[in-house]
A and B are shown apart, each in its own frame.
Chain A
Amino acid sequence: MKINLTVEEKAFEANVKDFLASELPSNIKQKVLQGRALKKEDHVRWQKILYEQGWAAIDWPYEYGGCQWSAIQKHIWAAQCAISAAPEVIPFGLDMVAPVIYTYGNDAQKERFLPDILASNVWWCQGYSEPEAGSDLASLKTTAVIDGDYYIVTGVKTWITYAQHADWIFCLVRTGSPQTVNNDALSFLLIPMDSPGITVTPIISMDGAHEMNEVVFENVGVPIENRIGEEGKGWTYSKTLLNHERAKLAHVAVSKNRLQELKKAAHDTLTGHGSLMDDPRFSAKLARTEIELTALEFTEFRTLIAESNDTDPGPESSILKIVGTGVSQSIDELFVELAGLYVLPFIDPESAEKFAGTQIIPKQTINTARLYFNNRKASLFGGSSEIQKNIICKDVLGFDLNEKRGEK
């Protein structure tokens, strides 16, 4: 998608480019370019640089540290970040818990939590899912029972991304009596990860990475003042939040940049009949993906405009999430096809470059398999693609999903 920029917008773009060129640390950029995992320090370092610049929380309201950027400016920012291989901001603090705090929290909570989130002084994780409550989040069983000034929290949260790094976890927990209908009994609690009674156990993913964790709460005391908003309203709060989360999960700018990389790599890949770009089958797949991505970009743009007119991202965010995930996963697959046999060696990038002095895998394909494996999660977390379609069915098309389910 090409947009004609105004003079001011062009100046803004130049400013963004300068900033990224001078401030993005080169070792972080290298890791992003090679698709390698970033360390906690890398993320924090970059987010603190953004904070210094005043660009850490572009979507926040201005009064709390947001940027007041137009939809076009946000678009420029995302595009330039992707082109410069800047890491994506870790969402749990800045994009996920902060909007709940500044929307539903009291003044004391805003003062206590927002500045540290903005400055990336604390690392947050999201404690929603449970072994028995995945898609059906509202059936979660972790309980929080009042005892004096405290909630006593007991239960198991699972698949929690980066809990091993986190200082705080935001959780949906069951308050209220067991008789209360499912989602009227959920509350939104902020819990320090160093509270006595919390145990974190790693879960290793198929690409060998340690991202997910199981987090067990055994009689963990949490001050009542750590509850956001009213008791029993946690579900409503987090639903709004999920809409924000989903809209971001389209990853348009990143996909656009990866598609460019893919094209370059296809030109460089020889097949015996010229380059892979000359193979009509491969280039047709590339073209189809590009068409889909451009349409997605415009869909996203339409939502950004709507948002800047103060409409909350509603069910459209489900479309962004489904299509965005689909496009990014098809780019993964095209990289797999491009790499051919080079998909196979599972060598960490550091040793591959030094491998007896020879490069065993071309640089552009070194992380192909890892990324393909890792990104299978995209259609699961933040509400799976099937659940997004259910949301569309219910909220847009008006179907009653419980009607005669499974009956004949």
Chain B
Amino acid sequence: MNFTPSQMQLELKESITRFIDSEYDQVERRNMLASAEGFSNVHWQRMAELGCFKALFKATDGGNGGTALDTMMLMEEIGKGLVIEPILASQILSGRLIVETCSESAKAKLLPQIISGALTYASGLYEPLGRYDLSYVSTRAYPRRTGFSLTGRKNFVLNGGDADKILISARTGGAENSKGGISLFLLDSDLEGLSIHRYKNIDSHAAAEVILDGVFVERSANIGELGQVLPGIEAAVDAATLALCAEAIGAMGELNRKTLEHCKTRKQFGVSLSSFQSLQHRMADMLIEYEQAKSSMMYAVVMSDENHGIAPKEISAAKYRVGIAARKIAQEAIQLHGASGVTDELDISHYFKRLTTIEVQFGNNDFHLNRFIELSREEEDIN
């Protein structure tokens, strides 16, 4: 079991921390949130230059990292800094989808532009009626003479309104929620019949609903094996889920730090808040939650790296445990800050909203608890 970061990983971590501290302050971030774009191209390019994106891919795919540990080290910093650039939607989820499903030649064609940051991607995998079920795909791809015609609706597409390219899961066979018959298509965002409704999420990250109304694509737009991509989608979503867990850990660590600092400085009844034992215990609980969540996240990272990126049970365990801690820590941080905690002005509430988002993304706590139970049963049946 190895979770000691390499020299290179530590250096990357340090340069991201420096970038966030010096160029990514909260005032700047707020201006960005208010802007039409919703994130900064300047920051995006800087992150590419620093090597953030390269770290997410294996050397054979044109990167210099590609392990879960690499992702974890990056995403913790992203979480601390409340970074809103679409690294999760584009580089991690979409990048990983390509890695998991595409031929070597397709990868060689697509990945360089992701790793360089030249293009951003989005992935439409969830549908309005499917809740968290990735095999619920009612969007259909009908074969045409030279390609396919796509019709259906995808929602909650992160970065969907801003991406240059969109990956869409669509059915080429099978019933609405059967595991077989799901295929992946790569779409330009300006195709005829494609309407993209951009909106902001509660955490100010942009997302979109994507409606496909007889969108015609060439045969080459089908990437991955026809009708066989569900396992690849699941692996990519697992990787993104684990990345989110790491981001949450970064955000929770920061909330704990800020809350402790606040309680040490804020005085009521002539003493600092941190002198009240009832509040001391609350902060001790916040720390315990953080450490337990961090351990389950790190365990999933290690298991994932030891099993070629596949560790669904441990990832579900991590997402569940992180989700529990995220809710608790976010709520306690506000409570211990008092009224200033519920204001938009303090970033405490922004961390709260990001953590709420993370809790519900890629499956909420109950979803992952259920999934953990199912996977444990399957494991027991095998043994």
The reply to whether A384 and B338 form a contact with Cβ atoms under 8 Å apart is yes
In the complex, are the beta carbons of B275 and A406 less than 8 A apart? yes
Q: Which residues of A contact B276 (CB under 8 A)?
A: 386, 405-406
Docked-complex contact B126 and A341, CB < 8 angstroms = yes
Asked if A206 and B357 make an inter-chain contact with CB atoms under 8 angstroms apart, the answer reads no
Interface residues of A in 365-400 (CB under 8 A from B): 369, 372-373, 376-377, 379-381, 384-386, 389
Interface size class of B (residues with CB under 8 A): 35 or more
- Expressed in whole angstroms, the Cα–Cα distance for A40 and B216 within the complex equals 51
On whether the beta carbons of A136 and B360 are closer than 8 Å, the reply is: no
A333 touches B327 (CB 8 A): yes
Q: Which residues of B contact A158 (CB under 8 A)?
A: 339
How far is it, in angstroms, between the C-alpha of A384 and the C-alpha of B278 when the chains are bound?
A: 13
Q: Is B136 an interface residue (CB 8 A)?
A: yes
B67 at the interface (CB under 8 A from A): no
Looking across the interface, which residue of chain B has its beta carbon closest to that of A129?
Answer: B339
B156–A159 touching, CB < 8 Å:
no
List B283-309 residues whose CB lies under 8 Å from chain A.
none
Residues in B257-301 with C-beta less than 8 Å from chain A = 267-271, 275-279
B156, A344: Cβ atoms closer than 8 Å: yes
In the complex, what residues of B have CB within 8 A of residue A62's CB?
Answer: none
* B360 in contact with A206 (CB, 8 Å): no
The docked-state distance in angstroms from the alpha carbon of A355 to that of B198 is: 10
Cβ contacts under 8 Å, A34 to chain B = none
B344 at the interface (CB under 8 A from A): yes
**Residue of B131, B207, B339 contacting most chain A CB atoms (<10 Å):** B339
Chain A contact residues: over half helix, strand or loop, or mixed? mixed
Interface contact B360-A279, CB-CB below 8 Å: no
What's the nearest-Cβ distance from chain A to residue B138, in Å? 13
Give chain B residues whose Cβ lies under 8 Å from the Cβ of A341.
126, 131-132, 155-156, 360-361
Evaluate contact between B271 and A271: CB separation under 8 angstroms.
no
Q: In the complex the two chains form, is B335's CB within 8 Å of A384's CB?
A: yes
* Cβ 8 A contact of A377, one of B177, B195, B339, B344: B339
Judged by a CB distance under 8 angstroms, whether A32 is at the interface is no
B9 proximal to A (CB < 8 A): no
Contact B364 A340 (CB under 8 A): yes
A380 x B201 contact (CB < 8 A): no
B-side interface residues toward A, CB under 8 Å? 126, 129-133, 136, 153, 155-156, 177, 195, 197, 199-204, 207, 209, 211, 267-271, 275-279, 327, 331, 334-335, 338-339, 341-345, 349-350, 352-353, 356-357, 359-361, 364-367, 369-370
Interface on A for B, CB 8 Å cutoff? 129, 132-136, 139, 158-159, 203-206, 208, 212, 269-272, 279, 281-282, 333, 336-337, 339-341, 343-347, 355-356, 358, 360, 369, 372-373, 376-377, 379-381, 384-386, 389, 405-406
Q: What are 14 A-B pairs at a CB distance below 8 A? A: A204-B345, A205-B342, A206-B350, A212-B339, A271-B131, A272-B131, A341-B155, A341-B361, A343-B357, A343-B360, A345-B200, A373-B353, A376-B335, A405-B276
